[in-house]
Structure 1
């Protein structure tokens, strides 16, 4: 039996899953790293991106490429605006208390889910791919759109990395993450930084949702699995660690691809869960996290 085609297929599927997972998990990691907020509504921002992408793309059904481009631009912007409103209207009012923010974002998640259900109904919605391209490998054909997902995710992650390292906003975010009070004393608008970070995290999840819809479908319950897998990636990589999140997303994505092709998707989820358990036992701070020092 020639394993080469199966290994190639597993690698491609793993890269696609890793790309979507990377965007979603980076949003969650960014919010926790800077704000110390566990955003349980993160999966619903992913779902809003997908459903919003479908709603926007359906406005121009005769031009799939134009509809998808509009969805990729407008849906994340709308989700980001909602995140800013949630930050200023809810999280800021409760002082970003860790326990209170978990409860608040659980409530926000439920509200978003029910509003989408009442507005769009329970049916799954498909979005036509912006282009049809079948890439031929020696053994099989593969969807060019899925490789487009990988390319877009790589560009966005690279831009985020450069922005965090080189831009003024990135400098303010790092200063706020290191010491909120000192940053405030130096004139950094911490409230605006928090709103921007929360919006950025939500927009990354929304972009992942828009990208996956042509390869999947949009429905009001689709945020559950991305939320859980994002938590898995963030825990394995290290809470708040951007390099750790990227590395863990690639590791888990490729692992899921291999397990799904050679065994079953159910076994892939079991392996991901076992990986989290092993990391928590042998390296609680995550692969790239820093151990806390105690007096």
Structure 2
């Protein structure tokens, strides 16, 4: 296969990663933007989404489509509920203090990870995609007689990967619409701007925090459900996802949904291209170097507001 088709294939793989990463990092960015909480356990909520998806699909049966749809509905609700309960029982009691919150969520990370290991086991387990048709992709070649379309061998993707890209894009658009054009979004934005003033106006800030923490975890779980038919569920899969999510929100700007999406596309596409043509390790090294450059020259991120 020539360079052009190889590049197209790399971009498609990068788009899948970018879509899942944007969905997961949006949850992390939302939690920080509203609560000013750095949730170190966010990757474990992503892992729980994948593990719960496997468990639901295994219990429900009835074919891959039925199990996947049930997992897509139940996993975010279960994980979001657990996260909201963790917020009310742990983070609320330490008054959302930044330093103690980081320590608490690190502890929560290890508790979730070890409980999953004890209940789920160390094996990586797949979830069958609801559909997985192989789609051959066309390429245009310019010759002496003009352009001609042909199908290079190996240049293909699957219908499920295209679904992941479309589903993640639709969910992120829905999040943006809710934040900008709904009463719930108005309450979250008011709490973000001034929690004390929001309390004075009768907004139950603690309930808003619990809901936001649950929604952020639910988005991570959704990302886990979408990715598990491509990457198998494993109790350690949250580590790399958490690292990439932090890279995305730091580059995009903490609390900025627009910056998160742009940074996710940038990191996902570059990871896909570099992984195909060079190595996945080099892609992670370059992403880390990019974070260092952003922290040095623009600490607030590409779309973050400079603190005064």
Which 4+ stretches in 1 moved above 2 angstroms? none
State TM-score, norm by structure 1.
Answer: 0.98
In structure 2, distance between residues paired with 1:233 and 1:27: 12
In structure 2, distance between residues paired with 1:219 and 1:71: 16
Query: Is residue 130 from structure 1 mapped to residue 130 from structure 2 by the alignment?
Result: yes
What pairs with 1:101-112 in structure 2 (closer than 5 Å)? 101-112=101-112
Partner of 1:73: 73
Query: Is residue 197 from structure 1 mapped to residue 194 from structure 2 by the alignment?
Result: no
In structure 2, distance between residues paired with 1:142 and 1:289: 35
What pairs with 1:1-295 in structure 2 (closer than 5 Å)? 2-138=2-138, 139=152, 140-293=155-308
In structure 1, distance between residues paired with 2:270 and 2:243: 16
Q: Cα offset for 1:132?
A: 2.1
Deviations 1:195-239 (A, max 9, x none): 110001000000000110000100111100010110000000001
Indicate conservation of the 8 Å contact 2:9/2:156, yes or no.
no
Indicate conservation of the 8 Å contact 2:51/2:233, yes or no.
yes
In structure 2, distance between residues paired with 1:84 and 1:276: 30
Runs of 5+ in structure 2 lacking a partner?
A: 139-151
Q: CA RMSD, aligned part only?
A: 0.9
- Select the structure of larger CA radius of gyration: 2
Partner of 2:145: none
Runs of 5+ in structure 1 lacking a partner?
A: none
Indicate conservation of the 8 Å contact 2:134/2:156, yes or no.
yes
